[in-house]
Structure 1
Amino acid sequence: MSPTFVLVHGAFANSFSFAPLQAELGLLGHRSVAVDLPGHGFAATFTHAYQAPQDAAGLASAPGAIKGVTLADNVAHLIGVLERAKQHGPVILVSHSRGGLTATAAANARPDLIDRIVYVSSWAPVDLEVGAYYAEPEMATVDPASLALALAGNPAELGLLRVNFRTADPAALAAFKAAFLADGTDEEFLTFLNTFQPDENLDTGTADDRAQADTWGRIPKAYVRLTEDASLPLALQDRLIREGDALTPDNPYQVRTLPGSHLKWLTAPAEAARVLAELAG
């Protein structure tokens, strides 16, 4: 029975970004499901203040549906999808970027629902919580303040992180392009940027949500490295692989490598689809 790929997006993203990849997987004969985590996709908040002309004060204060959404909420939603997908055969769980937090916690909770877990330049924390990795040498090239160039409102007051991806500030746009799609054209970059949603939840989990050897560690796993990723640098990807292998030395990662930035594998997904199909086989 052929597997179902379940695809989990990263921060500020949604299922829409997986459409080109799903087309390539379909043409290779594979079915897939792209998940919208709570508060994402058609459940996201796009206020009138976010439209043009923008209302900066309104954007900084308008409530957002994702306020109060937790990692546990994301995990519960993903497990519901996995349960339905599992009724039709093997399941391959694929996560990107921040989506790895949800995938890892779901694998801790329900390893029976996942036949293989694949991280594509994705968070799979083992030794530290996510925030702590930002102080480590592998993340020295990442400037978390780049999002602050277009930050809208006070996260503590809003109860969420809001970024104005429709900004016209050239410094902010340059920082976004360098972080996400430095190897894409300006047209590709602006197109992808307009698939992002402004709001993201604040919960990145606790130590209990890191990979656990007796549950997560039983699932065959793979890591797809992105060599030019400026958001989750290759050095950090390699560290996460090493930590996962040390946690479960009898079940090491299958490692694959793709050239490109954080988002290039989604704008030009043919090779990524072939890699995923090969891992499925």
Structure 2
Amino acid sequence: MDLPITYVLVHGAFANAAHWSPLVRALALRGHRALAVDLPGHGLDARPGGMAGISTADDVAAVVDVVRAAREHGPVVLVGHSRGGLTVTAVANAVPELLDRVVYVSAWCCAGAGPSEYATVAPSALDRLAPRLLLADPAEVGELRVDFRTTDPELLDALQDALLADGTRTELHAMLATMDLGEALAIDETAVRVDPERWGTLPHTYVRLADDRALLPALQDRFVADADALLPVPFATAELATSHLGVQLRPAALADVLVPTGP
């Protein structure tokens, strides 16, 4: 009997492993192992100093440790959502031999440029909202610190539109309550760019979220187009009609994309 796949799930900015719980359950009920990683400083790995000083290298080391251990038990598919795509790319560049596929779920995949350049391609509703959510000057506190516990109705309406337009206010409050208030500033622009000689050896899938207003479809399409132009093997692609956070709240369709259906 074939060994079950282990899906290693990497969260996005201000998120943590808890946001993957519905997908972990969906994959387990399809007969596969799944585990979600808390990147350094996130979720249950929260630290007294917050996110200050945490680097891309720290994120990569944490995920490589998990991937290496999981690989002892069979195939590994590494899945990233949103900013988690940066970590997925850096891990795939570092240890492609430990992975069987990488999957980007409306996630950053920097092939033709670095994150700073891509950030100007399609500014989203969340980008415009970010300055109103800041709790402190990032240069002073060494991290991005935002107010996801706001009770301001106008800000909540804007967050609903940006993150979960296809959900209820109750669902939005539940997601915001579990989000971290800090995020690391440092991104190694070289490490998170696709290395054609290493990342390019792996099968890769992009799951486009057609109703995403936080990472717009235009930017998702640009990631795919740039990678396909750089490499001989194109992305396998799938499209889901859901929002940035809706894909995690209602993960059945994503689980169907991830789990092989062939013999």
Fold match by TM threshold 0.5: yes
SS at match of 1:34: strand
Is contact 2:112-2:230 (8 Å) kept? Answer: no
17, 20, 25: which one aligns with 2:19: 17
SS at match of 1:262: coil
Matches within 5 A, 1:19-38: 19-38=21-40
Q: Cα deviations across residues 64-115 of structure 1 (Å, max 9, x unaligned)?
A: 3211000111001111111000000110000000000011011111101111
- The two structures, once aligned, show a CA RMSD in angstroms of 1.5
Is contact 2:11-2:17 (8 Å) kept? Answer: yes
2:189 maps to amino acid: T
Q: Cα deviations across residues 113-161 of structure 1 (Å, max 9, x unaligned)?
A: 111000000001111211222222xx14445231221211110000000
1: CA distance between counterparts of 2:225 and 2:166?
27
Q: Give the structure-2-normalised TM-score.
A: 0.95
98, 103, 114: which one aligns with 2:83: 98
2: CA distance between counterparts of 1:232 and 1:241?
13
1:38 maps to amino acid: P
Q: Offset at 1:274?
A: 1.1
2:103 maps to amino acid: V
* Structure 1 segments unaligned to the other structure (5+ residues): 46-62
Is contact 2:126-2:162 (8 Å) kept? Answer: no
2:208 aligns to what? 225
- 1:151 lines up with 2:134 in the alignment: yes
* Structure 2 segments unaligned to the other structure (5+ residues): none
Is contact 2:164-2:245 (8 Å) kept? Answer: yes
2: CA distance between counterparts of 1:110 and 1:13?
24
Is contact 1:12-1:198 (8 Å) kept? Answer: yes
1: CA distance between counterparts of 2:26 and 2:184?
30
2: CA distance between counterparts of 1:278 and 1:204?
33
1:54 aligns to what? none
Q: 1:208 to 1:9 in 2, by over 3 A?
A: closer
2:236 aligns to what? 254
Q: Cα deviations across residues 193-234 of structure 1 (Å, max 9, x unaligned)?
A: 111010100022213430010000000000011000011111
Matches within 5 A, 1:180-199: 180-199=163-182
Q: 1:270 to 1:238 in 2, by over 3 A?
A: same
1:147 maps to amino acid: A
Q: Give the structure-1-normalised TM-score.
A: 0.89
